[in-house]
Structure 1
Amino acid sequence: MSIHYAFPEGFWWGSAVSATQIEGAASEGGKGKNIWDYWYEQEPYRFFENIGPEVTSDFYHRYKEDIQLMKEIGLNSFRFSISWSRLIPEGRGDVNPEGVRFYDAVIDELLKNDIEPFVTLFHFDMPLVKQNEGGWENRAVVEAFADYAKTCFQLFGDRVKKWFTFNEPIVPVEGGYLYDFHYPNVVDGRRAIQVAYHTMVAHAKAVEAFRKAEIKDGKIGIVLNLTPSYPRSGHPADQKAAKIADLFFNRSFLDPAVLGEYPAELIEILKAYDHLPQTEEGDAELIRNHTVDLLGVNYYQPRRVKAKDHLPNTEGPFMPEWFFDAYEMPGRKMNPYRGWEIYEKGLYDIMINLRDHYGNIESFVSENGMGVQNEERFMQNGIIQDDYRIEFFKGHLKWLHQAIQEGCRVKGYHVWTFMDNWSWMNAYKNRYGLVSVDLKTQKRTIKKSGEWMKLVTRNNGF
C-alpha cells in the first residue's frame, strides 16, 4: 500500500469515550448516583428505546478484553473519563476504594499494552449530591471539583501524563440550562451563563491544582467541541451573525482556556442585555494565570448561520439565537442518519484558526466520528461493512494532514469511538464504534473501519 498521507512520527492514533457511556455497573462497586442515573429513573421515556446507563457496553467488567482489541487495532492512546461519582460517591469527602482499584487496573492494563492513557476529569456526569446542591451554579461545587481533581492527580499522576479538565464544557450549559436535553432541564439564559462561568473557574482551579502536583512530564488541557461558524453570505448582517455565534459557542471557552481572558465583544453583549455572570475577586487573575498546555478538539459538523429573519421574543428566555438563525446551505453533504452536515474542511479551518489566533497551541483531534442507525443492515459474513465511516475518516484526515503541512501543531487523531456505546438521550440509536457491540450478548466484533484503522496505525498514514 503506497502512503499518500504520512503523519508525523509519534502521532497519537487513538479513540475517546466517557465513563457513563461505556462503564455500566452504574450501581456496582460503591459508585454514587450521577445525574444520568437519576434522570433515567425519573423519566426513562426520554431515552431512546427506554435504555438507561445501567449496563451500557460493560467496560467495567470487560476492560481487559477491550484493551486487547485496542492493541490489535494498533491504537497507541485512549482518552477515557473518570466518573466523579464512582471515585467520590458524594462528590466530596470519602474516596471509594473500589473506584480507585478499577481506574488503577484500567490505567495499568493500558500501559502494559503500550497504550497511553489520556484522562478527562468531567464528561457530563455531575454527582447527584452535587447537582442537588446547585451543580455548577454553586461556588461550593466548584471547590469540590478542585478537590476531586487534586485527588485524581495524587492517585494516578504517577502513570497518567495527559490530563483534561472538561470534555465539551458548553454541552452541559446548552443541554442542562438552555435547550432541555440534559438534566436538570432548566431553560434560563441567566443561569446558563452562570454555569458556563463557574465551569471555567472550576477548570482554572483544576489547572492550578495540577501545577501544584508537579506531575513529571505531565500536560493539562481541556477538550472543546469547536464548531466553525460559517456565514450564509458576505452581507455584513450575515457576517455579524456568524461572529456572534462563534463568540457564544466557541470563544466563550476557547479564549479563557488558551488566552486567559474572555473576548471583550462577548462581555459587551452580555452587559448590554444585563446577563453578566456573578464573579468573585481574583477570578480574572486565576483564569489568566492558569491556561492550558494542550487543546483537544472535538469536531463533527460545521455551524452555518445567517442574520435573523424575525426579531426575538424579548419576553422569552435570553438565548444565543436572539442574534442569528441557523442556515441550511443548499446542496450540503449530509449524514442522513444523524441529520448532521459532513464538512471535512471544517477541521482544517479550526486548526488554522488555532495557529493564527491562539499561539499555535499544541492540539489534537480528540473526537471525530460518524453515527449511523441500524448498522446491522450493512453486515456481511458477520462483519459490518461501514465503508461510509472509512470515507468519513479519510476525508477529515486529508484536511488534518494539510493543516500539519501548513505548520499547525497537531499531535494526534482520536476517533469517536472505539466501540459502540450508550449515547445519553440517544442511548444506542446511532453507532459510532470501530468495534460493534451486540447488546444482547455484549460480543465485540471489529468492523471494516476497525480493520482499515489497523492499516493506518501500522503505516502511520494511508
Structure 2
Amino acid sequence: MKDFLFSVSTCAFQIEGARSLGGRSQSIWDEFTKRNFVIPPIGKASREINSIEVAADFYHKYKTDARIMHKLGLNAFVYNMDWTRIYPKDENYVNPEGIKFYIDFFEEFNKKNIKPIPVLFHWDTPLWAEIRGGFQNKEIQNWFRNYARTCFKHLGKYTDVWFVSDENSTFSRDAYLSDYLPPQKVGKWNFVNAIHNLNMIAAVTKEEFELAKKEGYISKEAIIGVDHDWSPPIAFSEDIEDTKACERYNEWNLELYLSPSIKGVYPKVFFEYIKKNNLNFVIDNLDLEYLKKNKLDLIGWNYYRPVFIAHSVKKYKDEDWHIPPQYDEELDIYYVFPKKQKYTKWNWLINPDRIITGSQELCKIYGASTPLMILENGMGDFDNKSEEMIIDNDRINYLSIHLQKVLEAKKLGINFIGYSLWTYCDIYSPSGGYRKDYGLVSVDFNSTIRERKPKLSYAWYKKVIENKGNEVFFDIDTLKKELKIILDEWDLFFK
C-alpha cells in the first residue's frame, strides 16, 4: 500500500437489495425490518424502519456505481459484505450465485483501479445461524470460519486489506442490552457471550487469513483488522471526577472492544462485569491463549463525534444542554450535550477535535506501528433534492474539518493508511431509514431504477482526491462549477 487510500464505505443490507434473489435467504435484518416496519411523518428526525428488499439496488447497479466511483477518483471502496448471500442455508452449502456476485463485483472495481476493502460481518447474521443460537452458540466460530475461508479463497486476489467485523460495540450493546437492533436477545449473559464470540471469530478469521497466505490466495503483505466505533470522551469540566469518568468510559468503550483482537487480552472490566452480575460465564483458558496467538494487524475507526462526559449534572441547568443528559448506570457517568457546541439536524455533535488526540491515544495503547484507517466519517442530513443541483454544504463543511484533522495526524506521524467516508450514496440507515441522507450521490428511492445523481459533496471529494488531500477547503462557487461539469457529463451510464 504505497498510496493513501481515499475511499467511501457502505454496507450490504443498507445498499445491496436483491434480498430474495440470487439464491439468497433471510438474515436477522430481513426479519427485523419486516416485523418492526414503521414510517414516521415526513421530515421528522426520528427512526424509520423500512423495507431493505431493494434498498439502493447495488446488486444490479454495481457496474454503474463502479463508473461513478472511478469518475470520483477513488482508489478504495470499503464494503460490509453479506454472509447470508454466500451461505444461505447452513454452514456447509456455498451459494454459487452469491460468491459469483462478489467475484464479479470485485473484478469490476479492480478494472477501475479501485481496491475493494471487505468487512466480513456487520450485524447481519444469517437467519439459519440465529435460529441455532447465533452469537450465543459457540459453534458460530466454526460457521464463520467456513465463511471466511471461502471469501479468502475466491476474493483474496483482489485486495490486501480486510476487516473481520464492524461496530461490535453498537451491535453487542444495542442487540443484547437493549432491543434497538436485531436479534433483540436482551440479557447480560447474552451480552457477554456475544462479545466473546465476536472476539473469537476475529481470532478464527486471523488463523484462516494466515493459512490463505500460505496457500497463495492472499498476498503475504495483506493485513486484516477490526473496525471500532469509538467516540472519544471529553471531560465536560476541569473537575478531576470528570476526568476519572472519562477513564471509566474508555475502559468499557475502547479497551473492551479493541484489546482482545489487537492485544489478545481482555481488560479487567470485562471479568469484573461478569462477577458483579453473577453471570454463569467462564472463558476457557484455551480461548484466552487462542486470542493471544491470533491477534489482528489493523485498527479501523468510525469517527462521527466525540462525547462529553460529566460525573454529575447537579450544578447545571436545563438550559445548559442542547438535549437532556443521558445517564449510564453501569459506569455512573453522564453523557452531556453542551448547548454551545454545533449539532446536525439529527442531534449528532459536530466536533473533529478528538481525531488527532484520539489517534495518539490509540497509538499509545496499541503501538505506534499499528496501522489505522478511518472507516466511517460522515453526516446524516435532510438534503434538498428539489433543485437541479443538490447543495449539501453542511455535509461538505463537516467532512472538510474532519478530513483535515486526519491528514494533520498523518503528518504528525500517526500511521493512517486511509480515510473512508460514510457513505458513497444515500442508503437505508438503521437509525433513520431512507429519510437520513448520508451520500455523496443521491438515490431516487421513488424511481424503480434507483437513479443516481451527484451532490455538491461529490464535487468536493473529487477535488480533494485530485490534489491528494493537500487542499480540503474550496469556495462554493468553485464547487458549483465543478458540479455543473460533472452533471453535463452524467449520461445514462451513470444513472
Mean alpha-carbon deviation: is it higher for 409-418 or for 227-236? 227-236
Select between 434-443 and 43-52 the one with higher mean Cα deviation: 43-52
* Partner residue, 2:191: 192
Assess if the C-alpha contact under 8 Å between 2:225 and 2:300 holds in 1. Answer: yes
Aligned-pair CA distance for 1:175: 1.6
Q: Which residue of 1 aligns with 2:467?
A: 459
Higher deviation after alignment, 103-112 or 8-17 = 8-17
Match of 1:19 in 2: 12
Checking the alignment, whether the CA contact within 8 Å between 2:342 and 2:349 is kept in structure 1 is: yes
Looking at structure 1, the residues matched to 290 and 23 of structure 2 have their Cα atoms a distance apart, in angstroms, of 35
CA contact (8 A) 2:149 2:208 kept: yes
Provide, for residues 151-187 of structure 1, a one-character-per-residue CA deviation record: whole Å limited to 9, x for no partner: 1111111223211100111122112111221112233
- Residue 414 of structure 1: CA displacement? 0.4
Contact 1:332–1:341 (CA<8 Å) still a contact in 2? no
> What is the one-letter code of the residue matched to 2:457?
S
Question: What does 1:139-218 correspond to in 2, within 5 Å?
Answer: 139-214=138-213, 215-216=218-219, 217-218=221-222
Alignment partner, residue 34 of structure 2: 41
Bigger Cα displacement from structure 2, 403-412 vs 52-61? 403-412
Shift of 1:436: 0.5
1:398 aligned onto 2:398 = no
The answer to whether the 8 Å contact 2:23/2:98 transfers is yes
Alignment partner of 1:95 is 2:75:
no
Q: How does 1:278-357 map to 2 (within 5 A)?
A: 278-307=282-311, 321-357=329-365
Distance 2:256 2:244 in 1: 16
- Structure 2 distance, partners of 1:52, 1:303, is 31
Any conservation in 1 of the 2:203–2:294 contact (CA below 8 Å)?
A: yes
Number of equivalent positions:
444
For 2:338 and 2:351, the matched residues in 1 are separated by: 13
Once residues 67 and 268 of structure 2 are traced to their aligned partners in structure 1, the CA distance between those partners, rounded to angstroms, is 49
The correspondence of residues 268-279 of structure 1 with structure 2, limited to 5 A, is: 268-275=272-279, 277-279=281-283
Deviation at residue 402 of structure 1 after TM alignment: 2.0
1:363 aligns with 2:369: no
Residue 390 of structure 1, CA deviation? 1.1
The answer to whether the 8 A contact 1:139-1:198 is kept is: yes
Deviation track 1:29-67 (CA, whole Å, cap 9, x = no partner) reads 100100011122222238955521101000000000011
The amino acid of 1:322's aligned partner reads E
Contact 1:338–1:371 (CA<8 Å) still a contact in 2? Answer: yes
Tell which deviates more after alignment, 53-62 or 165-174: 165-174
Question: Which residue in the other structure is 1:224 paired with?
Answer: 228
Aligned partner of residue 144 in structure 1, secondary structure: helix
2:49–2:432: 8 Å Cα contact kept in structure 1?
no
Name the CA distance, whole Å, in 1 between partners of 2:39 and 2:329.
Answer: 25
Runs of 4+ in 1 over 6 A off after TM superposition: none
Q: Does the residue aligned with 2:178 lie in a helix, a strand or coil?
A: coil
Distance in 2 (alpha carbons) for counterparts of 1:19 and 1:149: 16
- Shift of residue 278 of structure 1? 2.9
Deviations along 1:439-462, whole A, 9 cap, x unmatched? 112111110000011111111011
Structure 1, residues 253-276: CA drift from partner, whole Å, max 9, x if none?
A: 111121111123443344344347
**Alpha-carbon separation, structure 2, partners of 1:320 and 1:460:** 42
Deviation of 1:96 (Å): 0.5
Of residues 125-134 and 395-404 in structure 1, the stretch that sits farther from structure 2 once superposed is 395-404
Describe the shift of the 1:322–1:156 C-alpha distance in structure 2 as closer, same or farther (beyond 3 A). same
CA contact (8 A) 1:91 1:148 kept: no
Gaps of 5+ in 1: 1-7, 311-318
- Deviation string, structure 1 residues 227-282 (Cα, Å, up to 9, x no partner): 11222234343223222221222211111121111123443344344347432231
How far is 1:394 from its partner?
A: 1.1
Identify the residue that residue 315 of structure 1 maps to in structure 2: none
Sequence identity (%): 31
2:237 equivalent among 226, 229, 233: 233
Aligned-partner Cα distance in 2 for 1:273–1:239: 26
SS at match of 1:110: helix
1:91 to 1:17, Cα distance in 2 relative to 1, 3 A: farther
Amino acid at match of 2:332: F
Which blocks of at least 5 consecutive residues in structure 2 are unaligned? 41-46, 315-326, 472-495
Instruction: Tell me, in whole angstroms, the C-alpha distance in 2 between the residues paired with 1:443 and 1:365.
Output: 28
| Structure 2 letter corresponding to 1:357 | I
Q: Quick check: 2:73–2:466 contact (8 Å CA) kept in 1?
A: yes
Q: Which amino acid aligns with 1:297?
A: W
Match of 2:456 in 1: 448
Deviation at 1:289, TM superposition (A): 1.4
Q: Which moved more, 1:288-297 or 1:415-424?
A: 288-297
Give the TM-score normalised by the residue count of structure 1.
0.91
Alignment of 1:5-16 (within 5 A): 10-16=3-9
Q: Does 1:74 align with 2:73?
A: yes
Residues 164 and 223 in structure 1, CA contact (< 8 A), matched pair in contact too: yes
Which moved further from structure 2: 73-82 or 326-335?
A: 326-335
CA contact (8 A) 2:425 2:443 kept: yes
- AA aligned to 1:267 is F
1:357 Cα deviation (Å)? 2.0
Per the TM alignment, residue 327 of structure 1 is displaced from its structure 2 partner at its CA by 3.1
Q: Answer yes or no: is the 8 Å Cα contact 2:440–2:455 preserved in 1.
A: yes
Q: Which amino acid aligns with 2:148?
A: A
Give deviations 1:188-217, integer Å, cap 9, x for gaps. Answer: 223212111111011111111111111213
2:384 alignment partner, SS class? helix
Instruction: Report whether the alignment pairs 1:138 with 2:142.
Output: no
SS of residue paired to 1:376: coil
Q: Which amino acid aligns with 2:250?
A: D
**Does the Cα contact within 8 Å between 1:232 and 1:327 map onto a contact in 2?**
no
Cα contact 1:436–1:445 (8 A) shared by 2? yes
Give the Cα separation in 2 of the matches to 1:244 and 1:158.
42
Assess, with a 3 A threshold, how the Cα gap between structure 1 residues 199 and 308 changes in structure 2: closer, same or farther.
farther
Q: Contact 1:307 / 1:323 at 8 angstroms: preserved in 2?
A: no
Check the 8 A contact 1:296/1:363 in 2, yes or no: yes
Tell me if the contact between 2:236 and 2:309 (Cα under 8 Å) persists in the aligned partners.
Answer: yes
Please report the TM-score for the alignment, with normalisation by the length of structure 2.
0.86
Q: Which stretch shows the higher mean deviation, 35-44 or 76-85?
A: 35-44
Residue matched to 1:407: 413
